[in-house]
Amino acid sequence: MKLRANPHGALSGRASMPGDKSISHRALLLAALAVGESRIAGLLEGEDVMATAAALRRLGVELERDGKGRWTVAGVGIGGLAEPDSVLDLGNAGTGARLIMGLLAGHPFTGIVTGDTSLRRRPMARVAVPLREMGVTILARSGDRLPLAIRGRADPLPLDWRSEIPSAQVKSAILLAGLHAAGRTSVSEPAASRDHTERMLRAMGAEVREEETEGGGRRVTVTGQPELLPRRLTVPGDPSSAAFPTVAALLAPDSRVTLVGVGTNPLRTGLYRTLREMGARILEQNAREEGGEPVADLLVESSDLESVEVPAARAPSMIDEYPILAVAAARARGITAMRGLGELRVKESDRFGAILEGLRACGVRCWSEGDDLFVEGGGPPAGGTRVEARLDHRIAMSFLVLGGIARDPVTVEGAETIATSFPDFVALMNRLGARIEEVTT
């Protein structure tokens, strides 16, 4: 699919964000491990989350859709999954694949996990290595890439794991495996990664302990073999999805947009902190808590942005938002420096390279030095070009936002990937005043 973003004027109106993708995956997975029936509201029904739902069905879990975003999950309890009769295909869902590996670790049968072309290129060693330490057998392609076969065990060994990088996916996979182990399983990280798994586990009755470690790190410990309680879970709006209309409204003069029900977990809001440092007018209204997560409505007004330096330590709280931050930086006065972005090379695509390639095609001066990215901003980007999404939904949406504030339209090829996380992106943006259309030539 090709989508063309035409330059637009002011954006205005109110919009509700799709459910948080990270929390949606976890809501399904943990509800499946509870004893009894859980009800979920606000679930993201993008392709990634639906791939996780399909995998759970193959593992013997009954899931029923009760309406848009409303699902009922009949939990089978810790260790209660059934051996799948076919391959578990997670599509483009990196979170789903890695967390499913953690679940399979606690079951004495073999499951085969695969994904699409993009996911089969992504590294799984960060999860496979600690799971092997727990006594799990994993056979994979070179580099521990998908497809892989994982044979779990009914009594995986408890583990005390020290992760070299902060990664919520790695941490969560180990904690999910640790739920099946007798004793305590711990994960230590050099900096805190998003904590949705810990919050939800605690809400469902698991014993979870968190502590600060030397040098600003964090250690999370879960006590194995709990009986998870079924819950009514509400998934907040995804701050990563909200980033796109936020930046679009900031950059289009005279814009004023309210984004309703956005998650404001401090371990997910590095982008919003950075934008405010750049001079963005983003006001939180109606702050509240839903499903154990902080939520607020965001009032966003057009703003003149200044360049900043984004420290590497902030990356865990905004790792998915660097593509859209780079678009904001293209309009900010001066040179914005984004430090320590090596992790972007192993996301859905080489996002680091995709950002540089796309910005340069749109006439924006940018360069890299090692794992640091530099973007020189100023007037509207030239646009008038085509950008390849590289099977990456965030690259696709970011350059559609850029096309809206460029001098000439920007066409994104491979835009069908947007459906993995934000199926209503085009309709929502156009309701606010954007001018995105499908093209056939």
- Residues with a known catalytic role: 320
* CA separation for the pair 37, 35 (Å, rounded): 7
DSSP string, 378-407: -S---EEEEEE-TT-HHHHHHHHHHHHHSS
- φ, ψ for residue 305 (rounded to 5)? -100, 145
**256 contacts: CB under 8 Å, gap ≥ 6:** 10, 11, 12, 249, 299, 300, 301, 302
Distances (CA, A) of 240 to 20, 125, 175, 201, 322: 8, 26, 24, 22, 10
User: How far apart (Å, rounded) are the C-alpha atoms in residues 293 and 23?
Assistant: 10
Place of tokens 């799709």: 18
Q: Residue 215 half-sphere exposure, CB side, CA atoms within 13 Å?
A: 7
Helix/strand/coil for 375: strand
Give percent helix, percent strand, percent coil of the chain, each to the nearest 5: 35, 30, 35
CB distance 96 to 51 below 8 Å: yes
Burial (CB < 10 A; 0-12, 13-18, 19+), residue 211, is: exposed
What are residue 283's DSSP bridge partners? Answer: 299
Closest by CA position to 197, among listed 186, 213, 208? 208
Residue 176's SS3 state is helix
What SS3 state is found at 215? coil
Instruction: Count CB atoms within 10 A of the CB of residue 11.
Output: 25
Which of these, 151, 107, 158, lies nearest to 128 by C-alpha position?
A: 151
- Helix, coil or strand: residue 363: coil
Tokens of 11: 């954006």
